[in-house]
Each structure stands twice: as C-alpha cells, then as structure tokens.
C-alpha cells in the first residue's frame, strides 16, 4: 500500500494511489498525497502532474475502519487534517494537476479531483459525496466545482452519485474514455500542457487560482467544523460504527 511517484519524459510527474481493496486512504496516505504534490511542484523541471490510481476505483475516501480502531479523537483529527492537506496541496500545486479517474470517486476522492485542474475519466467512473450517511460533512466545497448548485444540494442530502458522462455534459469532466484508454488519454493531455512554456503555465495556474470566487481552503475548513460538532455529539461515531459493523466495501 503506497503513494508511488514517477516521472515521465518532458516533465510529466505521476502520482499513483495504490491502497487495496478500494483506495480508502489511511491517515498517512492523505499526508503522503500532499507531500507528493509539494515535491512535484518544488521541482523546477515539473510541467504537469497526473494523479491516478491502481485497482478497481480511484478513491473511496477515508479509511473509516482505521479511524474506528484508533482510540479517542486522534483518528478523526488525523483524517481531517490529512484531507485538508492533500486537497490544499493539489489546489496550490504551481503546475496543473490532471486527475485520471477510474471507477468510483467518493468522499475524499471528490476533494482530490475537485481541486485539480483537469478531470479525465473512464466510462465506468462515477462521483459522489456520501458523507451524510457517515455522520460527517465535507467536500461539498469540491462537489460544487463539478455540478450546478441545486444538483449539489440534491446529491449531498441524498448521497446519490453522478456519472462521468453527466459531468462531461456540464464541462467539469474534460473527457470520458474507455477504461483501457484512461492512462493514455491523461498522459496525452499532460503532454499537451508540458509542451507549453512552463513559465507561462505556472503563471496561468497562479492567476486562475487568484480569480476563483471561492476560497476553497477556507470553505472546506468551515465544513470540517460541523464534522467535529457531530463527532462531539456522538452522532458521527454512531454512524461509523454502523458502517464497520455492516461490512461495507466502500469506505467513504
């Protein structure tokens, strides 16, 4: 289980998540994603980053089973800080970040892709934020970057998902391709960016972040406060215990 970092020709930096069975990241995994993004951005030869995953799905969010094994609030605090760090590092990476999404992208996975610059997805990909079913809140900030406002609310309250094809209609997913072609499509788009003058691209990334209407870091941190409240009230723990007891395979 790991976050693997590789470099292709022409400054394409690849970060791969590999946490079987469903890429539900443990606390350290989120911090490792953040470290990988910062490492890529600090390397002057990096022109673009591709975030991808091995296995049946891109990301199933936080490893709730790990959280419930950790005594007290340390698991929750670690996961929340780790997610915040990972999402922030993607958003603030000085070069564009392309998310190559296969299969499911849930919970914290939406935080990763919502803060990336370009999303390319396989034709079996779907996205959702099932936090209310886990007694938590979060990643509405990032889902709001993918879907219209009232759809955001409907999805959030119901914990329903949306397909990559639907997101492509909104323009939030750039391409939907057969799963076998996902990596090639992501790397081809990365090569187009890498062929540009990286001085201009880095300036463009900073400029685009600067004109965003929402401060995504502050917005997500505000959401997390409600998760802490639900946890102190015992609501979140109740839902997480139920999730573990029922043996769910997707840990969001």
Give Rg (Cα) of the chain: 17
Q: What is the pLDDT of residue 251?
A: 41
Is omega for the bond preceding 21 within 30 degrees of 0, making it cis?
A: yes
The CATH number given to whatever domain includes residue 166 is 3.90.226.10
CB 143, CB 152: distance < 8 Å? yes
pLDDT tens digit sequence for 95-126:
999 999 999 999 999 999 999 999 999 999 99
In a domain, 125, yes or no: yes
Tokens 């993918």 belong to 146
Least confident of 58-72, 78-92, 99-113, 169-183: 58-72
Average pLDDT of every residue of the chain: 95
Question: For residues 23 and 71, which has the higher predicted lDDT (pLDDT)?
Answer: 23
In a domain, 251, yes or no: no
In a domain, 169, yes or no: yes
In a domain, 185, yes or no: no
Number of domains in the chain: 1
CB atoms within 10 A of CB 200: 9
Range(s) of the domain holding residue 79: 2-180+198-245
Q: What is the pLDDT of residue 249?
A: 56
- The answer to whether residue 252 scores a pLDDT higher than 60 is no
In a domain, 90, yes or no: yes
In a domain, 207, yes or no: yes
In a domain, 39, yes or no: yes
């Amino acid at each position: 289980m790991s976050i693997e970092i590789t470099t292709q020709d022409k400054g394409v930096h690849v970060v791969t998540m590999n946490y079987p069975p469903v890429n539900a990241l443990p606390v350290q995994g989120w911090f490792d994603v953040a470290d990988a993004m910062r490492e890529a951005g600090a390397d002057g030869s990096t022109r673009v980053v591709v975030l991808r995953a091995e296995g049946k799905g891109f990301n199933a969010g936080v490893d709730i089973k790990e959280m419930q094994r950790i005594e007290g609030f340390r698991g929750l605090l670690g996961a929340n800080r780790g997610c915040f760090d990972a999402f922030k590092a993607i958003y603030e990476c000085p070069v564009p970040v392309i998310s190559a999404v296969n299969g499911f992208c849930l919970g914290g996975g939406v935080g990763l892709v919502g803060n990336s610059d370009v999303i390319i997805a396989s034709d079996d990909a779907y996205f959702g934020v099932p936090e209310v079913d886990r007694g938590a809140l979060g990643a509405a900030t990032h889902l709001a970057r993918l879907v219209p406002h009232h759809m955001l609310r409907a999805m959030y309250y119901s914990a329903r998902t949306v397909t990559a094809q639907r997101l492509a209609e909104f323009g939030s997913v750039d391409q939907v391709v057969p799963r076998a072609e996902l990596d090639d499509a992501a790397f081809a788009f990365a090569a187009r960016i890498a062929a540009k003058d990286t001085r201009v691209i880095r300036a463009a990334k900073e400029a685009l972040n600067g004109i965003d209407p929402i401060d995504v870091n502050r917005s997500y941190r505000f959401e997390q406060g409600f998760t802490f409240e639900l946890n102190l009230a015992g609501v979140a723990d109740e839902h997480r215990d139920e999730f573990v007891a029922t043996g769910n395979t997707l840990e969001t």
